[in-house]
Amino acid sequence: MTEAIQTDIGKYRITQEPFYLQTGNETGMFEAACAERLPVMLKGPTGCGKTRFVEYMAYRLGRPLITVACHEDLFASDLIGRYLLRNDETVWEDGPLTRAVRMGAICYLDEVVEARRDTTVVIHPLTDNRRTLSIDKKGEVIPAHRDFLLVISYNPGYQSVLKDLKQSTRQRFVAMTFDYPEADRETDIVAHEGDVDRETAGKLVALAGKIRNIREHGLTEGASTRLLIYAARLIRQNIPVHEACRSAICLPLTDDARLQETLGDLIDDIF
């Protein structure tokens, strides 16, 4: 292993344990998939803890973690690498996927369906028995390090027909489903991450439960655990509860005035 790769491993290693509360057997399933070098797909709504779970598992397994936030302008070269001009010389620079393949890191492609479809094709040889990455521009085929693991995530409830994973991609992964935690556990999470008392956290979770129950009336997404933590942190800074909930929860969810009024009534009911 080269000195540069050893340096990268240190840079991408998580040194402090992320806070994560297990809701089922997700840690055991992930560890089993990792031991068998099976690529993993995480499915669940926005802000339910998928990214935190990957960070926690990287720490638990002692693996470096490279995260890529996927978007519609993500090209294959953004993942693999490209030639760059430096000091009048043309040099190759590995992309995040190539670095992960070389060093044996977990490569996490967050919201993978946002990437261009022709971009996601480059991961296919890494998700079967070949476990290789082809760099066409260099004429190089890299065998994946034995510790390399590919993890992708997406929100199935948010995707349209035009933004969904093709079956040829989906059937290359072990899938794990995530959802918002049950109320007591979510209260523990909000209290810890938002640094508020458990009573306040419990009311925020109760508010989220009511909001999630009215999704069919026009909201495309329910209130995520992440938004509850944001509200808790504003409350911790002495922002009045109603203002904190409106700013951190209601306004991010919708621009519709009638829905905003409904959400405001829910805040009044809870607090």
In tens digits, what is the pLDDT along the chain, a chain of 271 residues?
555 565 667 789 999 999 999 988 999 999 999 999 999 999 998 889 999 999 999 999 999 999 999 998 888 999 999 989 888 888 999 999 999 999 999 999 999 988 887 788 899 999 999 999 999 989 899 999 999 999 999 888 655 444 677 788 889 999 999 999 999 999 999 999 999 999 999 999 999 999 988 865 667 788 999 999 999 999 999 999 999 999 999 999 988 888 899 999 999 999 9
Same domain for 187 and 170, yes or no, is: no
Same domain for 202 and 104, yes or no, is: no
What would the two tokens of residue 37 be?
């070098």
Same domain for 38 and 85, yes or no, is: yes
Please say which residue of 135, 162, 177 terminates a domain: 177
Same domain for 149 and 191, yes or no, is: no
Same domain for 246 and 215, yes or no, is: yes
Same domain for 39 and 170, yes or no, is: yes
* Predicted pLDDT of residue 146: 95
Please say which residue of 146, 177, 208 terminates a domain: 177
Same domain for 96 and 162, yes or no, is: yes
Domain holding 232, by residue range, is 183-270
Q: What are phi and psi of 59, to 5 degrees?
A: -65, -45
Same domain for 10 and 89, yes or no, is: yes
Same domain for 196 and 101, yes or no, is: no
Specify the pTM: 0.89
Same domain for 155 and 37, yes or no, is: yes
Same domain for 213 and 166, yes or no, is: no
Same domain for 128 and 223, yes or no, is: no
**CATH code where residue 48 lies:** 3.40.50.300
- Cα distances from 83 to residues 75, 134, 142, 173, 242, in angstroms, run 14, 15, 17, 31, 52
Please say which residue of 134, 153, 177 terminates a domain: 177
Number of structural domains (the chain) is 2
